[in-house]
Chain A
């Protein structure tokens, strides 16, 4: 992991190259996080990958998350790894919820990191995040005709209620 001052230096360096690409940093539990502007996520990741001083060339994981009560509702996390130095760095792109009229959008990084292919499809499948420029953005785990984004926090967990004695009158038709 880069330490906290190192993280600030990285953020400053990216911001001097691409204005406004990094909107903040966080350093908690020994893990470094860069808060990135989703519009410039390709520039940020491309810089971290190609700049010889950083060279985070391995993308360990891409995943989405839904922070429902929070204001920028969605986030996509990129877990970067520099193998020779064994340094991990998380880039977090916060995405606002466009509401009913659309889906949150973000540029795909499949051509920078081919490993993002399946994982971006997974984030799309579960959270409805659209990755612009992804070669094959379809549902990956749910059936292709499924409606809804099942891992959003406002999506019901589903399943069937288990009926206990205490709850049986809440189940319609059970006590009739």
Chain B
């Protein structure tokens, strides 16, 4: 582009790569290092900065994240994440599958939030189809999304505490996680990657006894959360490693596009469950916990409080579950009921057509966001009128939130880097997709 055609008000904001590359929060070198001669001589000797490579095989990076960390003594001076080590090409593979066969691929992106992934994808497809899901399906989706949120926070909490040296949290968190996975297995037959949500509703109604088990879980879980608090909240080591570590101001987080518990811990009450009404969260009574300082301690407390709120939502969902069909009665999209296959030729043909070819989606584009355990999961879907999507893109919160890691860590100790990364809770499958 010819630079003279540019309007003058934004022309001067273009900065050269050198200017931008110095510091992500825009500080000049003099502001970071200082200008007094003593400070400069201490830093300017290049060999004082020691660059170490962390990962991709490192027990504390929650996967195959690789970090290039520049250290000055024990203080982190720069940090550069290198990712792509589990890049799976899922977005490309989805373009080769029909819509309902793409759901299992989408699930495997963020492998701790598979229900959120599915909800975003199915929601985008339903937007393009102008399909309304029945209330029972919507409530079942909410029920499973909230169970999934607790599950994800439990794994995040257990592994984070493990990184900080508290191994017993790992055992307790995985005990409750297995309880949740039993529920998933009961409703869908799989522990992980259940493919329970379908375009038009959910795959199957909940089985007999599921509601009772969910109620048992809801009765159990608040006590268990209190146990975690008893273990960690007064643990001096944990407190010292969490409090006032990794503070990033709220405005900066918003600029970086951070969503989810990280943003709420900094005091911004932004929760898609409260503002977007694609799923009937408005029928539920729950609070959005927010932090005040925005340090790792707030992030931990926000996650625990969110687990409590999710338990509240699950209780309301299972108590007020509407009667009716669990999937929309749209035969051009939804598989016919199983019992009709034995009696109706039309149903059999329809089933065969849907399974082999899939349903067609009218041309269009849609972006559908869902609030997941780590923030905004958004699927951008382009349909070209055929039975396969033309483009599927997942806006994954781990990928976007990872940009905040540098600002959380620079200036702190390398030991705090581990705590920051644990509380950032990235899922590498979601980052690399």
Q: Is any CB of A less than 8 Å from a CB of B in the complex?
A: yes
Q: Mark A53-73, 1 if CB is under 8 A from B, else 0.
A: 000011111010111000000
List residues of chain B with CB within 8 A of the CB of A90.
365, 367
Q: Specify which chain A residues have a CB less than 8 angstroms from the CB of B224 in the assembled complex.
A: none
Within 8 A of A (CB), among B44-91: 83-84, 87, 89, 91
The interface centre, meaning the residue of B10, B21, B270, B376 with most chain A CB atoms within 10 A of its CB, is B10
Set of chain B residues within 8 Å of A158, measured between Cβ atoms:
89
Query: Contacts A63-B395, A141-B432 known; A135 to B17 CB distance under 8 Å?
Result: yes
State the total of A-B contacts with C-beta under 8 angstroms: 133
Q: Judge if A103 is at the interface, Cβ distance under 8 Å.
A: no
Task: Report the minimum CB–CB distance from A111 to chain B (whole Å).
Answer: 6
Q: Do B393 and A65 touch (CB < 8 A)?
A: yes
CB contacts (< 8 Å) of A135 on chain B: these are 17, 20-21
* Chain B residues near A155 (CB-CB < 8 A): 92
Q: Is A31's CB within 8 Å of the partner chain B?
A: yes
Stretch at the interface among A3-11, A115-123, A164-172: A115-123
30 contacts between A and B (CB under 8 A): A31-B366, A39-B5, A42-B10, A42-B14, A46-B13, A58-B254, A60-B257, A60-B395, A61-B400, A63-B395, A65-B393, A67-B390, A77-B367, A79-B380, A86-B275, A107-B14, A112-B13, A113-B257, A114-B403, A115-B255, A115-B256, A118-B399, A118-B400, A118-B402, A118-B403, A136-B17, A139-B84, A150-B89, A153-B390, A157-B93
In the complex the two chains form, what is the Cα distance from A133 to B1 in whole Å? Answer: 12
Contact of B84 with A141 in the complex, beta carbons under 8 Å? yes
Cross-chain contact of A61 among B91, B93, B258, B395 (Cβ < 8 A): B395
- Cβ of B329 within 8 Å of any chain A Cβ, yes or no, is no
Question: Which residues of A have CB within 8 Å of B391?
Answer: 65-66
Query: Do residues A143 and B84 form an inter-chain contact, with CB atoms below 8 A?
Result: yes
- Cα-based distance from A77 to B16 in the complex (angstroms): 24
Closest CB in chain A relative to B138 CB, distance in Å:
17
Number of residues on chain B facing chain A (CB within 8 A)? 53
- Are B432 and A61 neighbours in the complex by a CB distance under 8 Å? no
> How close is B225's CB to chain A, nearest CB, in angstroms?
29
Q: Is A113 a contact of B366 with CB atoms below 8 Å?
A: no
Q: Name the interface residues of B10-49: CB closer than 8 Å to any CB of A.
A: 10, 13-17, 20-21, 24
